[in-house]
Amino acid sequence: MAAVLADPRLRKDVHSYLAEEVCRREDAATCRFLRRTCCLEHSTAELADHTVGSDDAHRLAGLKR
């Protein structure tokens, strides 16, 4: 844990650090979905699908149709 907290990126830009760490662990479709929907305060299955241009994006967000 100390090594993670010592990462210089964490001191400069927490958002970038966390985004990089999340995308490193997730598949490309999930990262694309997160980048396109991160600005939404609230989402619905239909909005998630429309925003991403897919008919199954809602599954990545855990939303039900």
pLDDT at position 37 over 70: yes
pLDDT band for position 47 (50/70/90)? Answer: confident
Q: What is the pLDDT of residue 7?
A: 66
Angle at 36 between CA 34 and CA 37, to 5 degrees: 65
1-35 pLDDT, tens digit per residue, is 556 556 666 566 667 777 788 888 888 888 888 77
Q: What is the pLDDT of residue 53?
A: 83
48-64 pLDDT, tens digit per residue, is 788 778 887 777 767 67
Report whether 43 contacts 37 (CB < 8 A).
yes
Q: In the chain, what are the domain boundaries?
A: 2-61
Backbone angles phi, psi at 44, to 5 degrees: -120, 170
